[in-house]
Structure 1
């Protein structure tokens, strides 16, 4: 039941935002009483905390699966980008806003853990790409990874992109390609063109 609660709540929050979804809504979605729901979580904040932990675990598992099944570092980066874009497209624009405004402590903790995870993923990806000769040989993986993580925060920053100006998925897609073009070698740019052509044929 606990996993069902987390899954149903996450889907509602992604679809409608966090503030507008009540514990009554969640209980109704699950077909249980609110009393039963409160046997598993004491309040909405605790539920959000549990969803956050489940989300981080899922992200780690998914990126590891992508990494292990990608033929090269560029394919890995593009697939991770597509995965994130799909997630962002399924999310209400108000979800991140609500999380930052009403559950700031949880947001900061989530942001910190995701930064650490993304930092590790990017370092590994850059080192892999350099070994494969598709990223520039003179790159400093630690510096590039820090820049990537630092800039990624701007994707959801309303001081940079006003609410509604662009959807998060579009911004992130541009960001991924901007990052790849900045680090790819000539061999990498040729391989990137092949990957993007194959991607267009799949669509």
Structure 2
């Protein structure tokens, strides 16, 4: 059995649809039409497979984000670029997978969220450096700290005790979080582009 993208994609979908706790190694072997023996030769237990699947899924999203960085030169415009894969990943936040990860596999969940936070922070800091060079972002703030604050803000939609999710949709919350962050870091020149993007 090869540990290829197709395999990890299929396993990832099983976990997303059914949950990390619910899906068994039997289910995976049956769904992917491989023997349990072959599966266990590659993964000693479900937790190993879950970890590899999460790492793969996170890297896929991060690579998409890095590619957007390369394609879009203007730092402010890049922050407003939409990508279907990233959108799908953010919607996974309210999935059964996430709820079961938090409840049954908190160590795995925390480890991967920390990893995602660190890597996303690197991408955001790169964007800040680019924006500063373009005169679009202020120089008088800590890019690393602001990237962490932004990440924390965007990830709290499902579990903040102060947010009534019946009153604000996930999409609206994500948009407002981005605007909050962008208004905090842009120069007057950057704010001009920000206003143009909001009008279009």
Q: TM-score range by the shorter chain?
A: 0.7 to 0.9
Q: Does 1:187 pair with 2:180?
A: no
Say if 2:136 and 2:188, in contact at 8 Å, map to a contact too: yes
Q: Does 1:2 align with 2:9?
A: no
In the TM superposition, residue 47 of structure 1 has moved relative to its aligned partner by: 0.6
Question: TM (normalized to structure 1)?
Answer: 0.80
Q: Following the alignment from structure 2 to structure 1, what is the Cα–Cα distance between the partners of residues 118 and 81?
A: 20
Distance 1:158 1:147 in 2: 14
- TM (norm. structure 2) is 0.81
| Structure having greater relative contact order (Cα 8 Å, sep ≥ 6) | 1
Q: Who is 1:129 aligned against? A: 131
Q: Which moved more, 1:89-98 or 1:70-79?
A: 89-98
Considering only aligned residues, what root-mean-square deviation do their CA atoms show, in Å? Answer: 2.8
CA gap of 1:97–1:141, structure 2 versus 1, over 3 A, is same
Shift of 1:69: 0.8
> Unaligned stretches of 5+ in structure 1?
199-203
- Greater shift in the superposed pair: 150-159 or 26-35: 150-159
Spell out the pairing of 1:47-62 with structure 2 (5 A cutoff): 47-62=49-64
Aligned residue pair count: 198
Shift, 1:84, TM fit = 3.0
Q: Which residue of structure 2 aligns with residue 16 of structure 1?
A: 18
CA contact (8 A) 1:81 1:172 kept: no
